[in-house]
Structure 1
């Protein structure tokens, strides 16, 4: 009888341990799925952003563009979803590719230095810089336009064969790359003046496969937006993805013109434009604050209304400059950012 009782106690104790271990496993979801020594998979949690994950795993929020580049399944860096997994690289050569902000190591101190230590300048790497649009005072010279896709597709994207009507056959060189773009007018009231310009949106790039007197044949490589018949062609404009960061640039008094996609609100990582450019000594890599003006209001009951100080809405970095504008990216936002907000 005593042996039977002991066996029952042992069985119930074993069942209890199994139930406790299962409950603990259910309570603590697995966030890290270790693979090879090059890194691991991280399960996205509610509230995560690429900006925050870069700070968490690389000790720098500036790493997020490289993190996005290495996880090509993320189509829009502003939208990452709980439960999905992304790869975090650690020990391979890809780690170096991820380094969006690079701070060179200080040289070893010598007992008798012969020259001053070099100034260390952080850099920001944005791999997608060649796809961003820009605003000029007039449309760029058009080399030609798309007249059709080989199979008659209305929307054209990567690997499609396109036919182009050239403005002149001398404009196209076999094997060279070109860009497909479209334009729209920008008109915005700023103070007592009206800002005017032409927004250029890059849709794709292609390589010339054949040049004839009447048409040019090309194959689309990178596709950022669907190309259509009538879209214009311009020379491929290569921009350096590595920018020297200037966190405290000279003061400016600029206005946010809006985003590439004309959204009513400009979100984190969105590409947008401001109304100042090279004529105002703006260069890529400069970081500015986005400010939101407040209405006049009474601070205390019964007193006259006063204009309160602007609210800091977030930060942006300059990616590209033209004479009358700059293309920027919103790095972070504390509140909703809208076209017309101040930049300084």
Structure 2
């Protein structure tokens, strides 16, 4: 009798699991789909699923495929319902380097390749631009720049970077499980005014002081080649996305700064106080296919492809009915429910900070919007 009950329970659990996975399929899902050039995993997932981050729940690659998360143009995906909905793969001959990415990489090259988060003390100790050919005020392509504290050899190339914002935790005593109060502070673009602007105290989001230094974001703005060694070193500016200024730093060129191939998936848990803290390409608000910085990173278990729901915190307003009707606005208050904004998928992760792409949205995303586990 006990064995029969256990067998019945197991069968019920399998049935529920199959039903749950099947319920996430789009009503108009195709039975087969041929992968095309320009596709992304998110877009392919959305063809089959109402919630693309559930991709791992139905994805099942062929055993002969070396990396089961890589899909290539020309591959055929087949949806079957044996033991629950599953996607199988009919692979074609593989061509190196043309696998389908998770997100539209061509729209994100700047943020994928040219944004890094370093320890603030490491940024302070980097070699820096001290002057320009013929006393120019700014560095321009094809002319010499002079750099101090650079250990190099002639012909060696370096990336020129500019500190763009600093990250600090003003409530680190809580511990990571209790949630951090991480703040992003934009830095003055004129880095020559202050030798270490990321060291200054600042007032932001109700905080003033130094807090715990988490790191400094730097942006690659050019490439230079060593002509003559020494201190200062003479370098030729090969390219730049903006004028080079005194105080800009130098870093080794990173040929493989990120993993381009991962898949959308739900996080296993939600770090405390997870939220949006900065924008990479906007000031007040962002929408779909724009980049945001999040106050969670690898130390919180975050990895590329994790998808979160974004919610705008509910506003606190006066409850005029519960208050004295003759003295409105001075009595009781009520906090409105948080409102769903959209979804964000992480595409690059550092220790305490990560960058995500807004995948969809019902309204603009603002700083301090909260992250929740997706449904």
Same fold (TM over 0.5): yes
Aligned to 1:330: 358
Cα deviation for residue 117 of structure 1 reads 5.1
1:105 aligns with 2:122: no
Query: What is the Cα-based RMSD across aligned positions, in Å?
Result: 4.2
Aligned-partner SS, 2:103: strand
Contact 1:180 / 1:205 at 8 angstroms: preserved in 2?
yes
Cα offset, 1:142, TM superposition = 3.9
> Is 1:148–1:164's contact at 8 Å kept on the other side of the alignment?
yes
Q: Distance in 1 between matches of 2:38 and 2:155?
A: 43
Within a 5 Å distance, the mapping from 1:5-20 to structure 2 comes to none
Q: Residues 309 and 340 of structure 2 are in contact (CA less than 8 Å); yes or no, is this contact kept in structure 1?
A: yes
Structure 2 distance, partners of 1:269, 1:285, is: 15
Describe the SS at the equivalent of 2:343.
Answer: strand
2:257 aligned residue: 239
Q: 2:158 maps to which residue? A: 177
What TM-score does the superposition give when structure 2 sets the normalisation length? 0.52
Work out the CA distance in 2 between the residues paired with 1:251 and 1:243.
Answer: 22
Output the CA distance in 1 between the equivalents of 2:146 and 2:90. Answer: 49
Structure 2 match to 1:30: none
User: Where does structure 2 lack aligned partners over 5 or more consecutive residues?
Assistant: 1-36, 44-70, 80-86, 92-99, 175-179, 183-212, 324-331
CA gap of 1:199–1:104, structure 2 versus 1, over 3 A, is farther
Report the Cα offset of residue 149 of structure 1.
Answer: 2.8
Is the counterpart of residue 252 in structure 1 residue 260 in structure 2? no
Offset from partner CA, 1:75-108 (integer Å, 9 cap, x none): xxxxxxxxxxxxxxxxxxxxxxxxxx96772479
Unmatched 5+ residue regions in structure 1?
1-56, 64-100, 110-115
Alignment size in residue pairs: 244
Between structure 1 and structure 2, the one with the greater Rg is 1
Within 5 A, what are the aligned runs for 1:303-314? 307-314=335-342
Give 1:146 deviation, angstroms: 0.9
2:243 corresponds in structure 1 to: 226
Give the CA deviation at 1:183: 5.0
CA-CA distance at 1:258 after TM superposition: 1.1
Post-superposition Cα deviations, 1:219-274, rounded to whole Å, max 9, x if no partner, equal 44453443211111112233236231324233324121112367232344433311
Normalising by structure 1, we get a TM-score of 0.56
1: CA distance, partners of 2:125 / 2:349: 20
